[in-house]
Amino acid sequence: MHAPRKFRKAFMAQLLVSLRAAGQASKSMGLRERRDAVRLSSDVAMALASARTRSAPRSSAAWARALVARHAVERRNEALMRRIMGGAGYEMAAAAAAAARSRKEARSRRIVRRSRRVCSGSAGRRRRVSLAAAAAAAAASGGAVRCSAMAAARRMVKARLRVLRSLVPGGEALRGLSLLSETLDYVVCLKTQVELMQCLCKGSRPKLG
């Protein structure tokens, strides 16, 4: 699983620009702040390189947009992100972060309202009765064990997908194949990020092929 040469070259070029901006901004920073600045610079460089090397023009992966928006939420990152992305780029990222926060709050409110309706209405009781009837019918027909195994498998898959969504930036809004595609792309880019940072730390020339 290797990143395309085009992405590696774009990532390295953007990473050097980002680290140079971080170096100029970190003169008055402490050790921890410098570490955070390097991490921010590397993440933003990775996201920008991914967006610039995609086949569709002006498109970017969902994880790349979410990663930049996640950093843009923090007001302490504004100065450095403006140095790296420019004023217009940062404003777009900040607007995307605000929109994502609004969508998340709206989704949370819908979940709360739905939970209240289920708990207070008769829908919950009808659902429990129908599930009990289905379970009784399955037991009567000898399929209870099979149904239980299928239910356990579904629960395990759902649990693993929840973990996956929490690991991939922007994964909360992804489903099915789109989640798997974004995860694969994100992992490949992370691997490249680690390789390039290790090369820079060792002072060696990275292999871009």
Q: Residue 176: inside a domain, yes or no?
A: no
Quote the pLDDT of residue 143: 56
Handedness of CA 62, 64, 68, 73 (dihedral sign): positive
Q: Residue 166: inside a domain, yes or no?
A: no
pLDDT in tens, 143-198: 556 677 788 888 898 898 899 999 999 988 888 888 999 999 999 999 999 999 88
Query: CB within 8 A of 100, min separation 6: which ones?
Result: 66, 69, 170
Quote the pLDDT of residue 40: 92
Q: Residue 9: inside a domain, yes or no?
A: yes
List the domain range (segments joined by +) for residue 47.
5-115+187-202
Quote the pLDDT of residue 28: 73
Quote the pLDDT of residue 131: 59
Output b/e per residue, 123-144; b: 16+ Cβ within 10 A: eeeeeeeeeeeeeeeeeeeeee
Quote the pLDDT of residue 126: 55
Q: Residue 159: inside a domain, yes or no?
A: no
Q: Residue 102: inside a domain, yes or no?
A: yes
Token readout for 178 is: 């789109």
Query: CB within 8 A of 94, min separation 6: which ones?
Result: 72, 78
Q: What is the pTM of this model?
A: 0.71
Q: Number of structural domains, the chain? A: 1
Is the pLDDT at 41 greater than 90? The verdict is yes
Q: How confident is the model at residue 76 (pLDDT cuts 50, 70, 90)?
A: confident
Is the pLDDT at 3 greater than 90? The verdict is no
Q: Residue 48: inside a domain, yes or no?
A: yes
Token readout for 143 is: 């399929």
Is the pLDDT at 203 greater than 70? The verdict is yes
Quote the pLDDT of residue 85: 86
Q: What is the rounded CA–CA span in Å between residue 93 and residue 5?
A: 27
The most confident of 47-56, 62-71, 106-115, 119-128, by mean pLDDT: 62-71
Q: Residue 131: inside a domain, yes or no?
A: no
Output b/e per residue, 29-57; b: 16+ Cβ within 10 A: eeeeeeebbbebbbbbbbbbbbbebbeee
Mean pLDDT, residues 63-92: 87
Contact in structure between 95 and 101 (CB atoms under 8 Å): no
